[in-house]
Structure formats: C-alpha cells, structure tokens
Structure 1
Amino acid sequence: MYRTFADTARQRPGAVLRLALWSAVGAAPTFVFGHAVARAVDGFLAGRPAAACGWLGVLLLAGVAGALAFRPLYAALAAIVEPFRDDLVERVVRGALARSLTGRPDTGAVARLTHQVEIARDSYAGLLMVARGFLFSTAGALLGLLTLAPAMLLFVLPPLLLALVLFAALLALLAARQRALLLGEERLAERTAAVAEGVRDAVACGGEERLRAEVGEVVDEQAALARSMARLGALRALILALGGWGPLLLVLAAAPWLVERGAGPGTVAGALTYVMHGLRPALNTLVQGVGGGGLRLAVALERIAESGPPPAPALPPALPPTPSPTPSPTQPPALSPAPSPALPPTRPPTADPIPGRPAVELCGVTFSYGPRARAVLKDLDLVVPEGDHLAVVGPSGIGKSTLAALVAGTAVPSAGRVLVHGRPPGDPRHRVLIPQQAYVFGGSLHDNLGYLAPGADSAAMARAVDAVGLAALVKRLGGLGGMMDPGALSAGEAQLVALARAFLSPAPLVVLDEATCHLDPAAEARVERAFAARPGTLVVIAHRISSALRARRVLVLDGSAAVSGGHEELLAGSPLYRDLVGHWRSEPAGGLGDPDGVDPVARTDLPVDPR
C-alpha cells in the first residue's frame, strides 16, 4: 500500500501537489480554532469584547477559506483516483487474458473486475482523504498547541503516539483476515458458477443435497471470517478511546497545574478545543478509514497483483471478436475459432487428423462435476465412424450436453480417453460445436458467416445461406454486407446465423448441441438434412425425437447405460427409446413457422438417412 502511494506521487506529482496545497488551506480552521477560542475566552473575561469578537471573526474567515478549498481538493483527488482505477482494470483484464490463453480460464477474474477493482478505487479515494485529513489536521492541531501552550504537548503526545503504535500492530492481523475474506469471495464465486453450470445434470443424478452442503460450507466459512473481523473491530474501538479520550482526560487533570504556572482559562479552553475538534476527529478518521477501507485496498491490490499477467509484451490495442465466455461442461461456447494471429494460441497446435481413424472415439469415459459427485457419464464406450450421422437422445439432464462438451474438448473426462480423428479433442480445425445459445457479434452478416472460414467466397456463403434457410434474414439486411445488431435478432435467427457459419467451416466434425431448439420442426429438419449432406461427420444432441428418424444411428443415454443402433432396432430393444418416441407422438403437431403443421415424428413416409 505504501508503494502504491509512492507510485502515485511519482506518476502524478502535479495532482499530488495540488491535493497537498488545498489540504493545507482546508486545515487552516484547525490551526486557528484553538487560538481563536483561547483569545476570545480571555478577551471576554478581561472585558475586551471587541477583541474577542475579532478573534471569532478570524475563525469565521478561516472556516470559509477551508470550505472553499474542498472543491479544487476533490478535483485534484479525481485526477489521482480515476487513472488509478483504469490501471487496475487494465491489469485485471490482461491477467485474465494471459491465463485464458494458457488454457487455464481465470474464473475469479469476474469477482476482481466487478467487485475488487471497485473496492480498490473507492478505498483508495477514501484512504487518500483519510491520510491527508489526518496529516494536516493533526499537524494543524499540534502546531496550534505548540504556539499556544507548549507544555500541553506533554499530556497530548504520549497517549496519541501509543495509540498509533498499537494500531499499527493490529493492522497486520486485520490484513490477514481481510485477505481471507477476499479469497473466500473468489471461492464462493467460482463454486456458485460451477453449480449454476452443472445444476441440470446434478439434479438429474440426485446430487442436490451434496451441492447444497458444499456451497453452504463456503458460505459458513465467509460468515465465520466476518464475525472474526467484527471482534477485531472492538480492539480498534479501544485504541481509539486511548488515543482520542486519553489526551482529553490528561489535559483536564493537568488543568490546575497549568493554571498555577500562568496558563489562563482561555489557554486551557483552547487546548481542549485542539484535542476535541482537531486531534480526536483526525485519529478517529484514521483508525476507521485505514482499519476499514485501507485494509480492503491493501488486500485487493495484493490479490490483483497476484492475478496480473507475467512480464510479457503488451497485448495489441484491438482484439478480434471472440466467442462467448468461458466454456462449461453443460453450456459449451457457440464456436471455437482458430486463435487470432495477434495472440499466442490457447494450446500447442494439434497435428492433422490420423487417416483411417474414426471421427470420434470414447474409451471408458467417466465424467463428474467433482471428486465426490455422482458420475454423469460412466465407463462410456462409443465409436462414431467418419461420415456417420449420430443422434443422441435421452431425458433432460441425463448428460447429453456433457457428452457434446467432451467431444468438443471443452470438458475433460474424469477417467477414460476421448479422441477426435485420432487426436485429443479441442482443435477448432477438427470440429465445430454449436450449443443452444448461439453466438453472433455486431458487424456485417458477411463477417459473422465467414468467422470460421475467412477465405469463403460469396458463392460458398450463398450456398450456406440457402442450405440452412437464412435467405429471409439476408433479404431483410439488404444482402451479405448488411450490418447486424445481435440484440435485434430473434433466438431462431441467431441460431441460423451460427449454423450457416458452422456449415461454411472446413472442420470435418460438426456437433449440434440442441442447436435448433429455437427453430420449428420444419426448419430443424431442413438444417439437419443440410448438415447430413455436408461432407464430414454429424453428431446431433436431439431437441426433438424427429432428429433420430433422420439419423443413421441413435445413441440413447439413460443415466446408467448407453445403447446405440438404428431407429427400428431401438424401438424393438430399448424401452426408454420407445417411451421417448411415444411421448413425442402424443405431443401436438406443428410449430411456429411450420408450413405443414405436421410433426415429422407422426409421419411414416420420412426416409432414414441412407448413409
């Protein structure tokens, strides 16, 4: 914290000098107050009311000058604090980017950026005001005492200095508690985010009580730390009593002795004024400010420094649009584009696919959301040959999206092995993943569609637009060069843009994780048939059971086992699959924008993909 103040003085000396000068002007009433009271009291007692009133007028003028000094004082404070906040935000963002680019997402960065940076900024501003108030008010009061009655310092300085020494010793313990509180905030944020991401699968596996217990343990730890800080606050009150009330009691006790040595009533009254209205408020502000906001500032700065990036060349000033936030097992990102050439890659470049290997291989794969959590997928073996079209079905929360995340490489199995074209998953050159929440960014439709295929020409984009049924949006925007506002798109339109982008991608494996959930059945059928006709392999996490009719093979997840086969084969051999098909046959047909008003499941003339 002291180094922070030193850095501020070195980087912004003009603002610091202005703050000091206006603080000195603002402290003028403190210096004048005791003298004015002493002279006024003595004047009235001596029968010189004019002189007494004159001193009160001097006090009034000093008060006006001190009040007028506060406006430029706060302007100087802003010139120090706002650049300080900007520096902190830049450091947090750089640190989070640096960690994310090494493949270790910094989930605590949100707490640092949205909470700890604001704590640091507000605390820094408050601490500057506390420091300058204490220094100039105490200096004014002590200088006043020295010029009024030097002997008074013998009764004022010892308890004041003792209180400051004790408070400095208490600060180390307070800082340790405050650091534990901030680290607990990050743990709580991370745990809450993990619970929110995996709650669907956790509920499906009956893990609610375990989740509640784990989160409750973190909350209880935070509550215990908060109570400990409150107990230490009582010690601060004792120190304040020693340094604030001790000098007052000593001056009162020494008053007879001082009067015997020539000090008049006015001098004693002036000395009490300096203690009551100068030293005591300044000490109170210091103890409360440094013991509260100052500690939060020191610990927040330490934590931000720890999270900062290692020494490295500065990031470029502008970054290309990137996919949506940190992936989770249940909600992977909309797209996984190749890293920008301006940034280091997120992982070492993966080798080309191994010819002749299946598109997807899962060998004994188990996945759970923690070492003590029930496995969402257990000992799963799966082979998806190159060029296959697989639909994955099962009850909600059974682990279908988790399987998609494992195949895409956005989740890591607890046990077992996942391979994509014979290599570890995750290389965006080998696969493209589209989840329920599609990612689009502000800019032209052309830029959005070509995000994964920068070299795609207009003819290829036109084929993709026609394949997924995006022509209506293209017409409304005035062509491929039309500008898009993501907030103005419907959920279905956003999904179609993301699907067309994936269609253009050169990746040989496409994973659609309920990526058509905002489309009507007819639009969904069009999209899936387009991807089935596209060269490569297609894995569909089914939103409707009609997706299974269009697939060559179907994988049924039931929470304890996995069964795969063709549609007719599973109708004969899987009770769960028969239940799922029967459920969808009983649902009302049609949907928004469905021109036929016919549910494809209810039709018997739909051919199964012959591949």
Structure 2
Amino acid sequence: MTGRAGELLLSSLRRRRGAFVRLTGWSLLQGVPAFLSGWAVARAVDDGFLAGRTGTGLAWLGALAAAVVIGAWATHHATLGLSALVEPLRDELVTLVTSGTLHRSAQVGRPADTAGVARLTEHVEIAREAYGAVVVFVQGFVVTAVGVLLGLATLDPALLLFVVPPLLAGLGLFAGALRALAARQRAVVLADEGTAESVGTLTGGLRDVVACGAEDLVRERTGARIDAAARATRALARATALRTASLGIGGWLPLVLLLAGAPWLVQRGVTAGAVLGAVTYVSQGLQPALQGLVQGVGGSGLWLLVTIGRITEVSAPAAPVPAGGGPATPAGSGREGGGLAAPASGSPKSPAGGGPAGPARGGLGPGAGRRPPGGRAAHRPRGAHVELDGVTFRYARSAEPVISGLDLVLRPGENLAVVGPSGAGKSTFAALVAGVLEPGAGQVRLDGVPVRSLATDGLARRRVLIPQEAYVFAGTLWENLTYLEPGAAPEAVDAAVDTVGARPLVERLGGYDAPADPQELSAGERQLLALVRAYLPPAGLVLLDEATCHLDPEAERRAEVAFARRAGTLVVCAHRISSALRADRVLVLDGTRAGLGTHEELMAGSALYRDLVGHWEVTASPTPGRF
C-alpha cells in the first residue's frame, strides 16, 4: 500500500519539477531568519551589550527583525507556489477515483457503490490537504536544520557536539516508528470505513432488522466493528508516543545538554553570546521545525500515505464478475472482512412476523402439503397463541388512536384475515402483533409472553412479517432465500420454492447461484422471493401484510394456501376478497371500531364488510398480470 502511494507521489512530483524548484527557492529564503537568529543574538551580546555598546547590540537585533520580515515575504510566495503542486495531485486523484468507479460499475453484476464513492471523494480532500502540509513541514525542517547547523558551526564547532547526536537519534527513532504508525493509521481508516458502512446499512434497514428479530445479530456485528475501531485508535495512540519520544530526544535534549554543558563550553573559550546564540538556534529554530516535521509527517504524512494507498487499491479495475453469478457480496458488506447486510421480511411499511397457518379454502396444485378432501386439514400441528388485551396505539400523543381498546385471541393454527379501508390500521395491527410497534396501552402476548420481550430471544424464529414492499438485497438467490434459515437443506429450499410457486422465477433467473439484482426484479418477483424466505424458518406465526398484492390472483391463492397449510398461525392483511374467504375468521378495522367473525357472520352483521366485499367484487381484474 505504502509503495504504491509513494510511487504516485513521486510520479506527480517529477512531472512538476519546475514548480518544486521554485518552491524550494522560496523555502531557502524562508530559512534566512533561522540562520541569522542565533548568530545575530550572539553578536548582539558579545559585541554589543556585554561590550557596553548598546547601539551595536540593538543594530544586530534590528537586522534579525529585518530577516524575519524577509522570511514572512518568502513564506507568502511559497504558500502561493504550493498550489502548483497540490492542485494537480488532487485532479489526478479525482480522475483515478472516477475512472476506477466507472470501470467497476461497468462490471456485470456489480451494484454501484455510491457510499464508497463518497468515502473516496473524502479521501481525496484529505490527501490534498495532507500533501500540502507535508511539503511545507518537510521543506521547512530541512531548510531550518541546515541553517541552524551552519549557524552553530560559525559560532563554534564544539556546539555541534551537543546538538547533532541527539538530533540524529530523535530522527532515527521517528523514522523507525513510521512503518508501525502507517500500519496503525491504515487500520484506523479501515475500521472507520467498516463502522460507517455497517451503520449506514443499518440505518437504511432498521425496520427490516426488527422485523426479522435480528437485533442481537446486528448488535453483535455492529458492536464488533465499533470495538475494532476503538482498538485501532488505541493502538495508534500508543504508537504516537514514539513521536513524542523522538521530539523529546531530538528537540529538547540538545537544549538540556547546552545548558548543562555551558560551564564546560565557557571554560573552553566559547563566549557567553555564542552559548546564548546556540540556545536561540535550538529553542527558536530547530525545536519548532522538528515539532512541525514530527507532527506533519507523523500526522498528515501518514494520512497522506494511507488515503492515497486506499484510493489506489479501491480504484483499481475490479476483476470481472463471472456471467453465471457465483457468490455475491450482500449489499452493505465491507470491502475488507465483510460487512452488514440486513435483508429481512420487513419493510418501512410494516415489519416482521412469522410462522404457520390456518385453514384455507381452495386447492394447491402440484407441490407439497396437499390437504385431504373436505377443505380442512385433518391434522394441524400447534401454532402460536396470540392475545391482544386492551391494545391502543396512536402515532403521536395528540393524534387520534389508530387502534383503540382492541381485545383479540387467536387460537394456535388459526387463519385470520384483516380487512378495512386504506388507513384503517391494518399495517399497524400487523406491526403490533409482530412486536415492531409497542402499544400505548394494553399488551400483545405470543404464547403467553409479551411479544416485545421476545426481541432478544430469537424472535425471528417465533414470528415472521412479510410487508407489501418486499426486501431483496444484492446477492445470490440462495443467499436471499435462506437468509432467515442459513442452514436450510437444499431439499427444504426446493420444497419451499415449489410450494409457494416460485420455481418458474428461479429457473428464469438461472438457478440458486444466479445474482438477484433488486433493480431487475418486478415487485411481484420480489414478493415471491420474500415469501419463500419467510416460508423456510419454523416460525409459529406468519403475518402477510398485503404481501401478495403484486401477484396475480392465482399466484396469490397458491402462496396463501401454502402458508395456510404450514404448521402455525396465519394473519393476512387482505388485498382481495379471496383472502377473506380462505380465512377461519375475519377482523374488520375501521378507525377505532373493529368487528370480528366468519365471512358469513360479517356479511350478515357488518355494513362496512359488505361494502368492502362489494368493492372487491366490482374492481376484481378479469385479466391477471405477469405477477
């Protein structure tokens, strides 16, 4: 990584030799105050103040002030010349990022990584600022160090014995620590990327996570990323102590040695002015320059190497994805070490639920789970027992309740259809039963346990909610179908695909190893994949919140009957009258009012239900669509 970054920087520098030479010239002029500082102070003391010639001493200090003005003027022009080096590098990095992104996006089966582009763009800006800082600090240190050493030599060569050895030792320690600092800085960058990627994916699928009861998994994975970032930061902080040590050895130790050795120097014939000039050289010239070098190279320089290395490795042309698919990385996975993908059966409209089903009318056609004659299952394994006790829910304190004082008991294995006009609270009801929403009053219990308390106890295996807008992530069909049941046997997946009616779709897409691109699938195709995904886990409760609304009537019937014949309890937010006809009981929601009964009972006693049935019968489409 460091080698590729260094090559890119050197290549950019070679193409702009003229600008670099001009910048060096201004930097040499900047070094005039550093060279004159100690020498002027020594002359002012020895030839002026100690000799009783105050005017001479003030003249030397005036010369030093003039040199400072010259240095400031040179600094102004050096800063302007710096842009001739920095801005072209920025343009080269932007071109590298853009071309790499376009190249990767052109690969078949690779979704556009907009978040990754944003991060690389941020890296470009970091590299731009860091490059300018490094050039300034490195050139400033070299010019200042040369000026200081020349000045010390002109005062008295013996002074170099107190400055050069600790300076070289400090620089050696710093140079030796750079590789470790670069590795730790890179670890911090990658950890930050992983955390940002995980959190970004999480915030985009919070309801899906809750819908699947995946809170523990998400907490574990996201927490691991955050812990990794903390460890990387602590490791960098420990390594940074070497920078402080090198600064102490190279910048402060010479000053201590000069002060401690002053009596010896004076006995040897070194003047008091020369000793004071040497102290000035170290404290006002060498020490600030070394501090700038250590902080600049050890901070901005490391960021420069790491970010440019990251840009070059991520922007490199990607290997083509095989046309047949192969294992794909779920959306949101990190570039290194995986990431967070949170596909679920939930959606922003209404999350989670899961399980079996109740009686249903109508045949299933080819596939598993055929019912014996008579329309009812001869034996239905036990499902979830659902209780709503005085449940009230509103979306704001000042808002009217969507559901008010609702009492309801669903027997294990029962099939309930929920109907009502748009906005009557059907999705809210499903979310409350699934434990995604918490009632303002009352309690929802699943098998006698408050459903909200099950969130950390494998809730995804107790219930599954499938919303209207099904969630499909960028991965293979197999990854999408088995997300809630990763250990599912191929035979079980085949049975689920055939029973739900998704076999033609699987074959059309090229089999289980084929990539599932959400953008290339219709709404109905996405619903079929979500239905198979929810069919696999052994949940005791399944909630279909208009989860088949994009299927044609026959496909909808087949899917609903498949879930009804599974062991368990089924709740269907009905999209067509056929769903209500297949249910054991029907719940009619109309604001804060609710009615419950069989189809026949409600036709006789609920005007709203009769209106809904009439509306369904009038608007039923005689020509089923593709899905």
Shorter chain as normaliser: what TM range? 0.5 to 0.7
- Compared CA separation, residues 552 and 566, structure 1 to 2 (3 A): farther
**What is the CA deviation profile of residues 148-186 of structure 1, one whole-angstrom value per residue up to 9, with x for unaligned ones?**
222211111000001111111111111111111111122
Q: Which residue of 1 aligns with 2:78?
A: 73
Determine helix, strand or coil for the equivalent of 2:508.
coil
Partner of 1:29: 33
**How much has 1:26 moved relative to structure 2?**
1.3
Structure 1 counterpart of 2:23? 19
> Which of 268, 272, 278 is equivalent to 2:275?
268
Partner of 1:322: none
TM-score for both structures, normalised by structure 1 = 0.61
Alpha-carbon displacement from aligned partner over 1:493-521 (angstroms, at most 9, x marks no partner): xxxxxxxxxxxxxx9x8537999xxxxxx
2:469 match: secondary structure: helix
Paired letter, 1:511: A
| Counterpart contact for 2:524–2:548, Cα < 8 Å | no
CA drift at 1:208: 2.0
Q: Tell me, yes or no, if structure 1 residue 423 matches structure 2 residue 432.
A: no
Please give the alpha-carbon distance, in whole angstroms, between the structure 2 residues aligned to 1:562 and 1:88: 56
In the alignment, the residues of structure 2 paired with residue 512 and residue 83 of structure 1 have an alpha-carbon distance, to the nearest angstrom, of: 50
**C-alpha deviations, 1:446-469, integer Å up to 9, x for none?**
xxxxxxxxxxxxxxxxxxxxxxxx
Q: 1:572 aligns to what?
A: 581
Q: How far 1:20 moved relative to its partner?
A: 0.9
Equivalent residue, structure 2, for 1:104: 110
| CA deviation string 1:379-434 (max 9, x = no partner) | 99x999xxxxxxxx9856625534666899898444757754943279xxxx9988
Q: Is the 8 A contact 1:96 1:109 kept in 2?
A: no
Which residue does 1:39 correspond to in 2?
43
SS state at 1:36 partner: helix
3-state SS in 2 of match to 1:401: coil
CA–CA distance in 1 between the matches of 2:232 and 2:103? Answer: 31
Task: List per-residue Cα deviations over 1:202-253 (Å, max 9, x = no partner).
Answer: 2112222331232112111211221222222223222211111111122223
Which of 133, 139, 145 is residue 132 of structure 1 equivalent to?
Answer: 139
Partner residue of 1:93? Answer: 98
Query: Aligned partners of 1:421 and 1:311: how far apart in 2?
Result: 28
Distance 1:186 1:113 in 2: 10
1:219 alignment partner AA: I
Query: Are the counterparts in 1 of residues 13 and 85 from structure 2 also a CA contact under 8 Å?
Result: no
- 1:295–1:193 CA distance, 2 compared to 1 (3 A): same
Q: Which residue of 2 aligns with 1:608?
A: 620
Q: In terms of Rg, which structure is larger?
A: 2
Q: How does 1:361-510 map to 2 (within 5 A)?
A: 376=345, 395=430, 398=466, 400-402=468-470, 412-414=480-482, 416=493, 420=505, 422-424=507-509, 510=522
Q: How many Å separate the matches in 1 of 2:198 and 2:517?
A: 28
The yes-or-no answer on 1:253 pairing with 2:290 is no
Q: 1:586 to 1:125 in 2, by over 3 A?
A: farther
Matches of residues 92-241 of structure 1 in structure 2 within 5 Å? Answer: 92-102=97-107, 103-105=109-111, 107=113, 109-110=116-117, 112-241=119-248
Task: Name stretches of at least 5 consecutive residues in structure 2 with no aligned partner.
Answer: 326-330, 334-338, 347-353, 357-363, 367-425, 432-464, 483-487, 498-502, 528-543, 595-610
Structure 2 letter corresponding to 1:41: V
Larger relative contact order (Cα-Cα within 8 Å, sequence gap ≥ 6): 2
Cα distance in structure 2, aligned partners of 1:409 and 1:270: 77
Gaps of 5+ in 1: 313-343, 351-366, 385-392, 435-506, 516-541, 588-598
Contact 1:167-1:236 at 8 Å conserved across structures: yes
CA distance in 1, matches of 2:100, 2:518: 27
Distance 1:272 1:400, change over 3 A: same
User: Which residue identity lines up with residue 54 of structure 2 in the other structure?
Assistant: P
The question of whether the paired residues in 1 share the 8 Å contact of 2:44 and 2:57 is answered with yes
Amino acid at match of 1:224: R
Offset of residue 262 of structure 1: 2.6
Distance, in Å, in 1 between the alignment partners of 2:247 and 2:579 is 78
Structure 1 distance, partners of 2:211, 2:75, is: 61
Whole-angstrom distance in 1 between the partners of 2:34 and 2:159: 17
How has the CA–CA distance of structure 1 residues 213 and 168 changed in structure 2, closer, same or farther, with 3 Å as cutoff? same
Does structure 2 conserve the Cα–Cα contact (< 8 Å) formed by 1:31 and 1:143? Answer: yes
Instruction: Determine the structure 2 residue equivalent to 1:7.
Output: 11
- Report % sequence identity: 40
- Taking a change above 3 Å as real, the CA distance of residues 307 and 368 of structure 1, as seen in their structure-2 partners, is closer
Could you say which residue in structure 2 is the equivalent of 1:300? Answer: 307
Instruction: Pick closer, same or farther for the CA change 1:368–1:269 going to 2, 3 Å.
Output: closer
Q: Say if 1:27 and 1:140, in contact at 8 Å, map to a contact too.
A: yes
Q: Shift of residue 38 of structure 1? A: 0.6
Describe the superposition over 1:285-340 as per-residue Cα deviations: whole angstroms up to 9, x where unpaired.
Answer: 1111211121121111211111122399xxxxxxxxxxxxxxxxxxxxxxxxxxxx
Opposite residue 220 of structure 1, the aligned amino acid is: D
SS in 2 for 1:206: coil
Residue identity opposite 1:132 in structure 2: Q
Q: Distance in 2 between matches of 1:17 and 1:111?
A: 35
Give, as a single letter, the amino acid of the residue that structure 2 aligns with 1:104. Answer: R
Partner residue in 2 for 1:82: 87
